[in-house]
Amino acid sequence: MRIMVICDLHYDKRIYKGFDEGRAWEWLLSIVDYHSPEYLLSCGDWGHTVNEAEFYELLRRTVVLTIYGNHENMDVLTRLYNIRAKEYLPVLMDDGRVYDIGGLRVTGISGIISTGRRQRKGVPRRKPEEFLEIARRLADQEIDILLIHETPYLPNLFPFMVEGIGSKTALEAIKIIRPMLVINGHMHSGGFKTHELPWGSKYIYIDSSQQNRHYIIINNIEIEIWRDLEKLETIQLQRTTASKTRAENV
């Protein structure tokens, strides 16, 4: 089972910091064609230029599951469904739902955290208590992969990071869930970063925007970091006994 993971594609018709974000969709299709993943997971921020016609070009190639971030065309994301799936499967993941993907238990929590506004430009925000309520439902659920958009407070990785309510809440949620692997983007601080959290969860930050063009390929418990068509790093994950049993039974 080959799984691709992207974060922050930012498909928009603009030049940003000297990079043409309008080329993002063409780039995404090219790496999907190269790797032929059975699943494509995303931590959100697809961008505002995403449309149904182009998205179904992607859905003819692979099954897509995504959370939303803070730069989305929600009208499009909420209508999409997977035409390659055996049963009705929306592209937009249900918060806290556990998806079985090749023996891996995958879940996600959408959005960024705000104590004030409830949405911006049509994209919902999460209250801290909402975020943590979902996390508590996932405690002891033996989650293998957790997708979030909000960045946990990790100043050793992100020295410029402010210890705000969003970052503290995200870190607390990860601590509650204790997944084997947590993936997010949002920060736009280089192409990728890896870190092991004190309770054993592996953390990977990835940026798939046109400025960085990084993504992840997962083969069982082998994690590969790629940029364009070049493999940069391979990481081996330690699976729990329950995770090993599930994988062997697939």
pLDDT, the chain, mean:
92
Number of domains in the chain: 1
Which CATH number goes with the domain that contains 216?
3.60.21.10
Q: Find the domain containing 77 and state its range.
A: 2-248
Question: For residue 247, is pLDDT > 80?
Answer: no
Express each pLDDT in 164-183 by its tens digit. 999 999 999 999 999 999 99
pLDDT at 124: 86
Question: For residue 188, is pLDDT > 90?
Answer: no
User: Percentage of residues in the chain with pLDDT exceeding 90?
Assistant: 82
Question: For residue 245, is pLDDT > 50?
Answer: no
Express each pLDDT in 210-243 by its tens digit. 999 999 999 988 999 999 999 999 998 876 544 4
Residues 190-211, mean pLDDT to the nearest whole number: 95
Residues 100-124, mean pLDDT to the nearest whole number: 88
pLDDT at 239: 63
pLDDT at 246: 41
pLDDT at 122: 77
In three-state form (DSSP H/G/I as H, E/B as E, the rest C), the secondary structure along the chain is: CEEEEECCCCCCCCEECCEEHHHHHHHHHHHHHHHCCCEEEECCCCECCCCHHHHHHHHCCCEEEECCCCCECHHHHCCCECCCCCCCCECECCCCCCEEECCEEEEEECCCECCCCCEECCEECECHHHHHHHHHHHCCCCCCEEEECCCCCCCCCCCCCCCCHHHHHHHHHHHHHCCCEEEECCCCCCCEEEEECCCCCEEEEECCCCCCCEEEEEECCEEEEEECCEEEEEEECCCCHHHHHHHHCC
pLDDT at 249: 41
Residues 29-39, mean pLDDT to the nearest whole number: 99
pTM: 0.93
- Considering only residues 116 and 79, tell me which one the structure prediction assigns the higher pLDDT: 79
Lowest mean pLDDT among 73-77, 90-94, 117-121, 160-164: 117-121
Grade residue 118 by pLDDT with cuts at 50, 70 and 90: confident
